[in-house]
């Protein structure tokens, strides 16, 4: 189907139930539906929104275009969970219905206040000349899960010095005041974030641009987030328009963070160290964090990227969210750990232990499509060693340690149906340690790799054949000792 503007901006109620049913069937017969990741029933999912803990449950909304695998009229879709593992599809959370969101209820965040959950999002509207007019809007969810919008936006338009690329408010509370950070583009077409303050969530005052050292760092910063860990401030955002640099910035757009002193709310200054990417893989964007009742800082990302075609598109859907990861600040770096609750997914366990010397091995009963796999490699003198998953006759996805160059490598060049090849099929990053631990979460069409308990994370979609189920371990140019446990999911 050709996705004309008209088709992208159709509303759900304009579509017949027959058309919806056909779409559902098309999605249902897709071989790459995920089994334990949040994914849309139909259409396209993008950014996580409104991630929060409220009234005894985790709430996680996402950007949703229901009618196909393209970016069209965006809704907020609502999911919830008591354990961050099993998610219930609640339904549409925010429907773009008012003049200030005529072209989509764009990304935003949530905050509990006074017994209610406040949802702060961008109303995207366009006029007859297709000029964009952003509004920042508020909706409130009560204990029964009923969501009501404010009559009017709480922030109209854009402050002087910035363009209409002005969106994705993230709110938090500090010392009885509320702050919102918003992604922006300066009039000279460079990206940045700005800060607002409020005492009641209704009236917002523009405090200014967050002062960083990054004056020319891409053309737009999307989905900003600010939080504190160990008394340090962390500014997370998704800059667009960075050029690749060595192993860095290989995707179409990036997401990463700055660590610094706590943000100064009076001057808006943020003293920080250099920008670091949060994820080293292929498909990761627009992450959002929340702090839960156990005081954990947890992040979820969109396992996808804008402007890239994926093999599921022809099945009428696209993308999923990542697993929730707990964030820990250690030695000036964010460590990401899959939340502990995920161990609930562990079923049948198989363990192997072996020595590898210039060889490749597989083991009976050691294979699968959806599982968690933990491998530890020690005493290595091999020049490289690692693991291949979803191995079939002509397919495999390789995760390895290249000891010669001290690099972790995630190679999807033979993973299955190819896509986004213009951005390369290998991701790698520097890493040196004499003990290497790979923890992999493998779902029907994705891999999330945690290296040495979250020091590095690589996230990637893969589209192998269903029958590609093999697992192989290998060492080249020497020896390594290894131990692995696999749990079926
Ligand atoms: C990031 C983004 C946001 C915007 C949303 C629209 O992926 O472009 O900036 O609010 O997606 O769906």
> Would you say 32 and 47 are in contact if contact means Cβ atoms under 8 Å apart?
no
Mean pLDDT, range 342-362, rounded to an integer: 97
DSSP state, residue 67: T
Atom of ligand 1 nearest to the CA of 220: 9
* Beta carbon of 184 within 6 Å of any ligand 1 atom: no
Task: List C-alpha distances in Å: 55 to 62, 72, 91, 186, 291.
Answer: 19, 32, 18, 39, 14
pLDDT of 379 > 90? The answer is: no
Cα-Cα-Cα-Cα torsion 24, 28, 34, 39, nearest 10 degrees, comes to 0
Strand order across the 162-174 sheet: 162-174, 177-186, 191-198, 204-209
Strands (DSSP E) contained in 8-87 are 43-54, 57-65, 75-81
Token pair for residue 100?
């200030």
DSSP state, residue 13: G
Residue spans in the chain of domains classed CATH 2.115.10.20: 5-341
> Which pLDDT band holds residue 23 (cuts at 50, 70, 90)?
very high
What distance in Å separates the CA atoms of residue 157 and residue 160, rounded to the nearest whole number? 10
Q: What is the pLDDT of residue 273?
A: 96
Q: What is the pLDDT of residue 121?
A: 98
* Beta carbon of 124 within 6 Å of any ligand 1 atom: no
> Which pLDDT band holds residue 451 (cuts at 50, 70, 90)?
very high
Q: What is the pLDDT of residue 434?
A: 87
Residue spans in the chain of domains classed CATH 2.60.120.560: 346-488
Mean pLDDT, range 446-473, rounded to an integer: 98
Q: What is the pLDDT of residue 71?
A: 98
Q: What is the pLDDT of residue 1?
A: 78
Helices within 114-225 (DSSP H only): none
The share of the chain scoring above pLDDT 70, in percent, equals 100
pTM value surpassing 0.95 = yes
User: Which candidate, 220, 225, 213, places its Cα nearest to that of 253?
Assistant: 220
pLDDT of 277 > 90? The answer is: yes
CA of 324 to the centre of ligand 1 (A): 20
The superfamily (CATH) of domain 5-341 is Glycosyl hydrolase domain; family 43 (2.115.10.20)
Q: What is the pLDDT of residue 109?
A: 98
Q: What is the pLDDT of residue 239?
A: 98
> Which pLDDT band holds residue 157 (cuts at 50, 70, 90)?
very high
Q: What is the pLDDT of residue 184?
A: 98
Q: What is the pLDDT of residue 380?
A: 84
Top-confidence residue, 245 or 380: 245
Q: What is the mean pLDDT of the chain?
A: 97
What distance in Å separates the CA atoms of residue 431 and residue 451, rounded to the nearest whole number? 9
Our measurement of the distance from residue 156's CA atom to the centroid of its chain's CA atoms, rounded to an integer in Å, reads 28
> Which pLDDT band holds residue 347 (cuts at 50, 70, 90)?
very high
Q: What is the pLDDT of residues 92-134, one digit of tens each?
A: 999 999 999 999 999 999 999 999 999 999 999 999 999 999 9
Q: What is the pLDDT of residue 432?
A: 93
The share of the chain scoring above pLDDT 90, in percent, equals 99
> Would you say 232 and 329 are in contact if contact means Cβ atoms under 8 Å apart?
yes
Active-site positions read: 47
- DSSP H or E stretch at residue 339: none
Q: What is the pLDDT of residue 245?
A: 97
* Beta carbon of 395 within 6 Å of any ligand 1 atom: no
Q: Are strands 191-198 and 105-113 parallel, antiparallel or unpaired?
A: unpaired
Fold of the domain built from segment(s) 346-488:
Jelly Rolls (2.60.120)
Atom of ligand 1 nearest to the CA of 222: 9
CA of 125 to the centre of ligand 1 (A): 13
Mean pLDDT, range 34-46, rounded to an integer: 98
Q: What is the pLDDT of residue 482?
A: 97
Token pair for residue 19?
């058309």
Mean pLDDT, range 16-21, rounded to an integer: 97
> Which pLDDT band holds residue 396 (cuts at 50, 70, 90)?
very high
Q: Which residues of 207-219 are buried (b: 16+ CB within 10 A; e: fewer)?
A: bebbbbebeebbb
By most ligand atoms within 8 Å of CB, the mutation choice from 8, 63, 119, 303 for ligand 1 is 63
């Amino acid at each position: 189907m050709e996705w004309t503007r008209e088709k992208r901006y159709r509303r759900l109620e304009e579509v017949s139930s027959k058309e919806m049913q056909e779409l559902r069937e098309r999605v249902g017969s897709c071989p790459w539906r995920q089994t334990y990741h949040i994914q849309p029933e139909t259409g396209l999912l993008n950014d996580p929104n409104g991630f929060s803990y409220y009234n005894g449950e985790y709430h996680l909304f996402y950007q949703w275009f229901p009618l196909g695998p393209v970016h069209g009229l965006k809704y907020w879709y609502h999911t919830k969970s008591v354990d961050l593992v099993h998610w219930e599809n609640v339904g549409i959370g925010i429907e773009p219905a008012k003049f200030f969101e005529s072209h989509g209820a764009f990304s935003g965040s949530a905050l509990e206040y006074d017994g209610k959950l406040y949802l702060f999002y961008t109303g995207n509207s366009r006029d007859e000349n297709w000029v964009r007019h952003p509004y920042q809007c508020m909706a409130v969810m009560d204990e029964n899960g009923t969501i009501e919008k404010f009559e009017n936006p709480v922030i109209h338009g854009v402050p002087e010095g910035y363009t209409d690329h002005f969106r994705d408010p993230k709110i938090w509370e500090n010392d009885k005041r509320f702050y919102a950070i918003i992604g922006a583009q300066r009039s000279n077409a460079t990206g940045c974030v700005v800060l607002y303050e409020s005492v009641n969530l209704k009236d917002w005052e523009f405090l200014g641009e967050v002062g960083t050292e990054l004056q020319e760092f891409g053309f737009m910063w999307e989905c900003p987030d600010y939080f504190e860990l160990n008394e340090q401030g962390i500014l997370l955002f998704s800059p667009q328009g960075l050029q690749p640099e060595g192993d860095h910035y290989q995707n179409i757009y990036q997401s990463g963070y700055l660590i610094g002193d706590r943000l100064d709310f009076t001057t808006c200054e943020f003293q920080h160290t250099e920008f670091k990417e949060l994820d080293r893989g292929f498909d990761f964007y627009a992450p959002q964090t929340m702090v839960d009742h156990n005081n954990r800082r947890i992040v979820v990302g969109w396992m996808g990227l804008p402007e890239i075609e994926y093999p599921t598109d022809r099945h009428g859907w696209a993308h999923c969210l990542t697993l929730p990861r707990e964030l820990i600040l250690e030695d000036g770096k964010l460590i990401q750990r899959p939340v502990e609750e995920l161990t609930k997914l562990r079923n049948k366990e198989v363990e192997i232990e072996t020595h590898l010397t210039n060889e490749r091995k597989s083991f009976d009963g050691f294979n699968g499509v959806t599982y968690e796999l933990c491998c530890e490699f020690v005493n290595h003198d091999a020049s490289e060693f690692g693991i291949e998953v979803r191995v079939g006759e002509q397919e495999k996805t390789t995760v390895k340690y290249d000891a010669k160059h001290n690099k972790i490598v995630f190679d999807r060049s033979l993973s299955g149906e190819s896509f986004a090849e213009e951005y390369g099929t290998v991701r790698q990053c520097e890493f040196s340690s004499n003990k290497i631990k790979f923890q992999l979460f493998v779902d029907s069409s994705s891999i999330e790799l945690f290296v040495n308990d979250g020091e590095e994370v690589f996230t990637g979609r893969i589209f192998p054949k269903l029958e590609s189920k093999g697992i192989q371990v290998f060492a080249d140019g020497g020896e390594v000792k290894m131990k692995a446990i696999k749990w079926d999911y």
